[in-house]
A = this chain, B = another copy of it.
């Protein structure tokens, strides 16, 4: 047990060859430079000692850590794990490892985390924490590291991003409700400093306009994407718009908060009020009533983000790109014909 860590030099000494020869053998790309017989001897000895190249040392020498940092606002939010999975799946294929870090929503804390990641010499950063005007991205740009945002984007579009087509999701939702006869539809407006919150709001208004329902739109602020905020916003919506028959929640967590609110008031969904969420996060088909929501391909989003970052790593001059995934409305039991 507890074998002493074997190095190139150690192996070379045992084999009576030069360390650089061993090094050449260990790298498949340079192995051909070494004689067959020596290659065999080296490989055998390396295996015998469980030799594992020290990637830190390699990183130091080559200036490439083969590490990509991923910063998340909150990994317990179910939309992020599939994104991370997608990122990992794709990057692993290319020899990169992910340094994941939860940083919360606070920009100072995020800056701290980015500094930690940069100190570890990550080759690139994928940020799921972007705000519409993001000082952390400025910091990354100053540091000269490749950056991509995922799920959210900046207004300035200084960096490439992979996002959901929010306008389309809202359009599908509104179309669905209007087809069911709804006319008074409330949108619980998500955080406006996030692209998702902002674009869903815009998309909602555009979709209403397309149906000629744009005068006096029903909007209620929901300052964070949480169940608690959703409950409070729904409470307010029911008071401010008593004639509303449908609620378009900022996301699924907010929609679950609406369920809490309705339940507390003895209102039924969808008989009294129809509800639509956003994200189709896991298990919203198992809640009661099963939630109608906008499905986003989160795993794919992660894969795309990884590809963008690989692209910018391969070509430092590659331009800024926005990859926009198309969502799909998943109709379940929380939406029904308009009452009365």
A→B interface (CB under 8 Å): 1-3, 5, 50, 52-57, 59-60, 65, 67, 75-76, 78, 80-82, 84-85, 88, 97-102, 115-121, 141-144, 256, 259-260, 282-284, 286-289
Is there contact, CB below 8 Å, between B3 and A144?
yes
* Inter-chain contacts of A52 with B (CB < 8 A): 115, 118-119, 143
Contact A76 B67, CB 8 Å, known A3-B143, A286-B256, A287-B287: no
Determine if B1 and A282 form an interchain contact, defined as CB atoms under 8 angstroms apart: no
- With the chains together, A120 CA to B64 CA distance in Å? 12
**Pair A81/B76 contact, Cβ less than 8 Å:** yes
CB distance from A203 to the nearest CB of B (A): 26
Closest beta carbon of chain B to A40's beta carbon, Å: 22
Q: Are A75 and B65 in contact (CB under 8 A)?
A: no
Q: Shortest beta-carbon distance, A108 to chain B, in Å?
A: 14
Which residues of B have CB within 8 Å of A54?
119, 121
Contacts A55-B119, A88-B101 known; 9 new A-B pairs at CB < 8 A = A5-B144, A52-B115, A54-B119, A75-B85, A88-B102, A97-B101, A97-B116, A99-B99, A287-B288
Do B75 and A81 have beta carbons less than 8 Å apart?
Answer: yes
Cross-interface CB contact of A100 among B60, B100, B115, B256, cutoff 8 Å: B100
A105 vs chain B, min Cβ distance (A): 14
